[in-house]
Amino acid sequence: MSSHSGQDTVADPDPSVLIDVENLSVEFPVSSGTLFSRNRAIIHAVDNVSLSIRKGESLGLVGESGSGKTTLGRAILHLQKATSGRVFFEGQPINSMRGRELRNLRRRMQIIFQDPYSSLDPRMSAGSIIGEGITIHNLASTRAEYNRRVAELLEMVGLNPEMARRFPHEFSGGQRQRIGIARALAVEPDFIICDEPVSALDVSIQAQILSLLANLQSELELTYLFVAHDLSVVRHISDRVAVMYLGRIVEVATSVDLYSNPQHPYTYALISGIPVPDPRVEARRQRVVLGGEPANPADPPTGCHFHPRCPFATEQCASEKPELRQIDTGRLVSCHLAEELMLEGV
């Protein structure tokens, strides 16, 4: 992580870093009960998260539903207001940007949504959906240039340019997601958050969309934050993976290191659930079945949030919060027993 000082100034930003998240927290007030006995609580959806995303890399962000991964993604894009902390884009603080500066930055940071059914306006043609950003940001000076660009984008995502006149209901789920990808690419972004882009699609289509996203990333030198609830989805598309549990990052490592040698018991449990194709290896493997559901984010466990479900928990885990610390090159782990446990990868 690069270091920043002062409210709006950057001390010596690392030029290889595109996005730097510094102590970011997002809290939501919630209330329950009746009109006469309201209980108010605060949900710590994102709890003091710091991480960096390097230019041209794909960072996977994995966690169960309710872990805060989508909220973190939205807070990075400034679509969700952070309670505290800062986000820097090329060393510039996003939180304090306004007006034209923020609009320009919005063009450079895009999102591909999870649900290709609800994320496209049913009254707009595919061409208009893709071209909207081109118009808003004045990226084409003539109608002919606009049409050429829309056709080029459709081809880039594997669709026929003649489909520009069709409406969303005339496309399959996979084709709609391709339109969502073309819409994100239309404004020539540097950074894209892929928010569970394949989880609503049939398994047979998922691999095609993942391979399209991987090809586009290398062709266009894009930087991705790839959000998923399933470690197997991000494995081949991520250079590094960050694992999130109940609002906190618990492990960050290169994709190879994370899968072959997990250091956090939660990562280990997620990895042990991934099936291995070789039946002999599969038969020998130890499975960790996580007990219970993730805790209530409005009332998280003390100490390590994971301790009520962790098979290795000690007394210290229930009272002391483990810090996210570097244990070897490129690896961060938040566990009191990191390096002591001999956990098996795949």
Binding site for ligand SF4 (CB under 6 A): 264-265, 304, 306-307, 310, 312-313, 317, 322, 335-337
Only one residue has tokens 């709006």, namely 8
Q: Confirm if 69 and 63 have CB atoms less than 8 A apart.
A: yes
From the list 214, 182, 218, the residue with the least C-alpha distance to 56 is 218
Least distance (Å) between residue 27 CB and ligand SF4: 22
Least distance (Å) between residue 295 CB and ligand SF4: 12
22-34 as b/e: b if 16+ CB within 10 A:
bebbbbeeeeeee
Residue with Cβ nearer ligand SF4 (223 or 272)? 272
Residue with Cβ nearer ligand SF4 (235 or 264)? 264
Residue with Cβ nearer ligand SF4 (56 or 308)? 308
Least distance (Å) between residue 252 CB and ligand SF4: 15
Least distance (Å) between residue 259 CB and ligand SF4: 18
Residue with Cβ nearer ligand SF4 (152 or 339)? 339
- Name 23's Cβ contacts closer than 8 Å, sequence gap at least 6: 48, 49, 50, 84, 85, 86
Q: Which residue stretches of 228-333 are H helix?
A: 231-234, 255-260, 265-272, 279-284, 315-319
Least distance (Å) between residue 66 CB and ligand SF4: 18
The number of CA neighbours under 13 Å toward the Cβ of 30 is 13
CA distance 11 to 185: 32
Least distance (Å) between residue 330 CB and ligand SF4: 20
Residue with Cβ nearer ligand SF4 (183 or 264)? 264
Least distance (Å) between residue 326 CB and ligand SF4: 16
CA distance 316 to 23: 24
Residue 236 has a CB neighbour count (10 Å cut-off) of 13
Residue with Cβ nearer ligand SF4 (213 or 310)? 310
Query: 3-class DSSP state for residue 245?
Result: strand
Residue with Cβ nearer ligand SF4 (65 or 316)? 316
Amino acid (1-letter code) at residue 213: L
